[in-house]
Structure 1
Amino acid sequence: MSAGIVQEGQSLGALVRAWRNRALLTQEELASKTGVNVRTIRRLEGDAVERPRSRSLRLLAEALQLDPLEQAAFAAAAQAGPPPPPAEEASGAEPEGGRRVPRQLPVGVSRFAARTEALAELDQLLRPQADGAATRICVVSGMAGVGKTCLALHWAHRARGRFPDGQLYVNLKGFCPSGDAVDPRDALGMFLEALGVPPRQIPDDLAARSALYRTTLSDRRVLIVLDNALEAEQVKPLLPAAPSCAVLVTSRNTLTGLVATEAAAALTLDLLRDDEARELLAGRLGAARVAAEPEAAGAIIARCAGLPLALAITAAHAATHALTLASVAAQLGDRRRRLDTLDAGDPAADARAVFSWSYRTLSAETARLFRLLAVHPGPDLTLAAMASLAGVTRERLRALVGELRSAHLLTEHLPGRYSLHDLLRSYAAELVRPHAAERRAALHRLLDHHLHTGHAAARLLNPHREPITLAPRQAGVTVTAFDGYEQAFAWYASEHRVLLGLISRAAAEAFDVHAWQLVWVVTDFLYRQGHWDEWRATQRAGLAAAERLGDVRAQAIAHRGIAMACSNLGRHVEAQPHIRLALDLYDRLGDRVGQAHTHVNLCALLYRQGQYAEALHHGTRALRLYVAADDLIGQAMALNTTGNVLVETGEYEQALRYCRRAAALYEQLDDPNNQALTWDTIGHAYHRAGRHSDAVAYYRRAAAVFEELDSRSFLAQTLVNLGDVHATAGGREQARAAWRRALDLLAESGQPQADAVREKLAALP
């Protein structure tokens, strides 16, 4: 029983009994604490006192530590007088054999929302078994505020008809402000008294009490709800042996020991889905009010991250202060003050306080890791990243992660990838804020992990890229190794969002070398996937970092990157000054290969603008510089890029000669991605020359390689070209199929070429 679960219509006796049980007091102990006669207390709990004395009520309220809401309910029940008790549930009723039937379940939450699947699973897990071999036990676990107690009590009230011999309940206080978990010996004493065992017959020894408890329940059908358990050892003495009984345990910990040794079933309660969260808000605020501000309701749900406690507190604020949902959503929008908003002035209704009860149970080393998780930008992280954050080995980390997972403070939402609930991240950020030096050192290690791991992955994606020199990594950094291209690409696919977040974090916290070098790390992946806007934004961040450092070479690389990204976005005017600046910077450095790279990029940019003569000039200039430097990969790039321009000028044979030389060089250098790009150019030359079957053959060869390498941007463009040649040759259905697949890829990454493909499809008969 706790604040917020008092319902209208409860009798005075039911309230006193529930609050006494909450305080873990016998009737005799309550009488001693208050000075109220024990016989009076028994009569009060039995609703046998018509006009209770105000002094007795005051003494009871003080001893039971009632809050103002509970005191008001107490006074109202006293004025209402005793209700006529039902025959089968009258207080002190002793049906067959003089047995007492305990009815200890606290009142459940009104307007219980959602959780349909979880309720059905509890029905299944705790249903009577035909063979009756053992007591049915289920552990409901989940993070703080996810609604474990609400679910347990709602299900218990629904199912109490299956347990005619009564229901026992205790809050084991495993996670509470005082930190004083209930001793199972005390809980057993309360249960035995509730089951009718005279206090003088209850032994002092824990083992003896547990044995008497099992004996007393041996032929009864009783539901036992053990709420808020800390650990398995706290629960085990409270388990009956009778197959006719059922036990429902709630805990923030997974209590794996109960599952392993007592064959308990496990039910993990997750965050609410959006539709369930909306149902909860509608139940608290009214469906009409939620429907009137759907966008604000959606923002509240997102910012509460589906946590029932947070949603309930937010609804209480909106209802109590008559706030619009939009204003509540705006308050929640400030990440640094979000937990202040999620405080209803009661420890049980304060997200920060509720989280703290879980945090305090962690070992010191695990608590440190939890704090440091806020340093990671999200959305998720690997064991190697966590090991680097904490500066520990993977082997040591596994134990720490196991403790966090058991406490539901960390979730493995995908194999090998872990996530932190958004509100828990805010709480961890508050905890780590005072530890500035520790936080910065952890960020340095995290950046080192991604930079050194990413550099290795980038070299596998494109072994021939312009190299960069990394600073030595810090002690305690774990670097992930890759067996080949596939593993490296999979790492990028998983870490894509993390890398973008780390670039911003590095720039914001004066890790400028890491900022521009992480941009270098992610560039090839963004290019191949066609994430042009992200490519442009990261290159701008890299340029700013390079300028703060005064690093001319890094500035030249960034200017080239911005120009290439802008060119692919069709922003050719924006690209021009950046490509010219890159050329000037490489000239200042005396870097002929860097100049050659920039001339190739300038050739491609001018080609897209239709300025073919000037494009050929820069392509030829690049080729001469690469030949002088004996740079074979550069020569291949210049030959292919120049071949593209020659196709547009109608010089198909010369274009094919250039591209065949480029393809041969790429094969020699074992560079399948660029070799496929060259095959695409050859296909384009054959298409323009009217040799359609040859064009189709080369486009298909290129598409097959891009498909294998998951180079989606290049694959999309080759499919567009393949559709074009099919359409020219009269193969409408083949063209439609190629363009549809291309459109899916282009739309997926938001590329501007998608509209042109839609027009092509619309123009087909």
Structure 2
Amino acid sequence: MSGEAVAFILTAILLPLVLTELGDWCPWLANRLARWTARSLGDASLADRYAEEWSAELAEVPGKLSKLIAALGYVVYLPRMRWSLRQRQRNNRQPPQVAELLPTTRPVSQRSRRIVGRSAELESLYSQLVSDEQSGRQRRFYVIAGSPGVGKTVLATAVAGLFKQTHRSVVHTWAPDWRDQPVDSDRYRDQLATALGRKTLLVIDDAEAETMRMLERLDLQCPILITTRRRSIAELPNNSHVTVLRLLSDREALELLGDRLGDEAVRAELDAALRICQLAGNLPLALELVAAQCRHAGSTLAETADRLQDTASRLDRSPEDQGRNPTG
């Protein structure tokens, strides 16, 4: 077969057949490309909508090959669309709330009871907070230090209550729960700083050395009220205001018992009330627990003091004394 015959067959017979076949496939292929592009947007909620819109557009495009060219245009534009959608999602995404970033806890309820023996500390600490805020001083740490049961959390909660009265936000967290957080992550630090702002009072209860190191790395700009059992931790930050809580005096301890049990009951059994204060070591928490037990049992102060004395005596006895025959 001569070359002219082959050329005739290709141009006059095969090429029209191929073009005809391709033309019949073009609309089907165009719709498949449009649906694939819609699914590749990365947003399942938008895939169906775009697939429907593009199919309707292709139906309006005249010709067969033109539909395929239009569908290829969707494919070419796909990277740009995906970038735009991601930007829109980031702009519309709500920033994380404080509860998502911190192990927030509810403060200890004071039940509208007054704080006994801590009025000077309460006034001084709150006044310092307000003064630093008004003067713009960048003091961040306000530390309440003291032994267990001395009333650190109660005082911190009272300060936070005064802070909230001026319609400002307070966030409470317990330090032992605030561990294994990505504090070295720039994103976490930025999110937490944004969520707290500069006006929120962050209350951190029972802080230890690791808590202080974590706070130094976070470098938050809001005021931070910290309770700690360790004096050494309280002395770490240079820009801190430190309040060291002492034990209650005998008069203050009696006043606390009177506030919880009634002044008349304490005056009626003053000697027994003094014994209770001494046995409780004048610790506010211990006195609160004794008062609650006394109310629950309905016992007198003398009976409560005897019970505490008996418990203390049994705890003081050594195992050898407990096992020794007293008559032997």
Query: TM-score scaled by structure 1?
Result: 0.26
Aligned to 1:160: 164
Aligned to 2:325: none
* Structure 1 residues 9-50: Cα deviation after superposition (integer angstroms, max 9, x where no partner): xxxxxxxxxxxxxxxxxxxxxxxxxxxxxxxxxxxxxxxxxx
Q: Structure 1 pair 131/116, CA: closer, same or farther in 2 (3 Å)?
A: closer
Aligned to 1:127: 130
**Unaligned stretches of 5+ in structure 1?**
1-96, 174-180, 186-203, 341-425, 437-765
Find 1:291's aligned residue among 264, 267, 270: 267
Look up the equivalent residue of 1:282 and give its one-letter code.
G
Find 2:224's aligned residue among 242, 247, 258: 247
Aligned to 1:229: 207
Q: Structure 1 pair 300/107, CA: closer, same or farther in 2 (3 Å)?
A: closer
* Structure 1 residues 638-669: Cα deviation after superposition (integer angstroms, max 9, x where no partner): xxxxxxxxxxxxxxxxxxxxxxxxxxxxxxxx
Aligned to 1:305: 281
Aligned to 1:118: 121
Look up the equivalent residue of 1:289 and give its one-letter code.
A
Q: Structure 1 pair 246/163, CA: closer, same or farther in 2 (3 Å)?
A: farther
Distance (Å, rounded) in 2 between the aligned partners of 1:435 and 1:141: 38
Find 2:312's aligned residue among 338, 341, 350: 338
Alignment of 1:547-562 (within 5 A): none
Decide which structure has the larger Cα Rg and report it. 2
* Structure 1 residues 662-720: Cα deviation after superposition (integer angstroms, max 9, x where no partner): xxxxxxxxxxxxxxxxxxxxxxxxxxxxxxxxxxxxxxxxxxxxxxxxxxxxxxxxxxx
Post-superposition offset of 1:217: 3.9
Find 1:183's aligned residue among 179, 182, 188: 179
Alignment of 1:64-213 (within 5 A): 105-110=106-111, 111-114=113-116, 115-129=118-132, 130-162=134-166, 164=168, 166-173=169-176, 182-183=178-179, 185=181, 204=182, 206-208=184-186, 209-213=188-192
Alignment of 1:321-336 (within 5 A): 321-334=297-310
Distance (Å, rounded) in 1 between the aligned partners of 2:165 and 2:207: 25
Post-superposition offset of 1:211: 4.2
Post-superposition offset of 1:249: 0.5
Distance (Å, rounded) in 1 between the aligned partners of 2:320 and 2:175: 34
Look up the equivalent residue of 1:338 and give its one-letter code.
A
Distance (Å, rounded) in 2 between the aligned partners of 1:333 and 1:157: 37
Where relative contact order (Cα < 8 A, 6+ residues apart) is larger, the structure is: 2
Look up the equivalent residue of 1:296 and give its one-letter code.
A
Contact 1:119 1:151 in 2 (8 A): yes
Post-superposition offset of 1:288: 2.0
* Structure 1 residues 371-392: Cα deviation after superposition (integer angstroms, max 9, x where no partner): xxxxxxxxxxxxxxxxxxxxxx
Aligned residues: 219
Q: Structure 1 pair 291/205, CA: closer, same or farther in 2 (3 Å)?
A: closer
Distance (Å, rounded) in 2 between the aligned partners of 1:303 and 1:291: 18
Post-superposition offset of 1:212: 3.4
Q: Structure 1 pair 283/300, CA: closer, same or farther in 2 (3 Å)?
A: same
Post-superposition offset of 1:277: 1.1
Find 1:279's aligned residue among 243, 255, 259: 255
Look up the equivalent residue of 2:158 and give its one-letter code.
H
Distance (Å, rounded) in 2 between the aligned partners of 1:205 and 1:302: 45
Q: RMSD of aligned C-alpha atoms?
A: 3.2
3-state DSSP of counterpart to 1:279: helix
3-state DSSP of counterpart to 1:126: helix
Contact 1:172 1:229 in 2 (8 A): yes
Distance (Å, rounded) in 1 between the aligned partners of 2:201 and 2:278: 37
Distance (Å, rounded) in 1 between the aligned partners of 2:203 and 2:179: 16
Aligned to 1:679: none
Look up the equivalent residue of 2:110 and give its one-letter code.
V
Distance (Å, rounded) in 2 between the aligned partners of 1:320 and 1:207: 50
Query: TM-score scaled by structure 2?
Result: 0.58
Contact 1:141 1:254 in 2 (8 A): yes
Q: Structure 1 pair 234/100, CA: closer, same or farther in 2 (3 Å)?
A: closer
Q: Structure 1 pair 163/98, CA: closer, same or farther in 2 (3 Å)?
A: farther
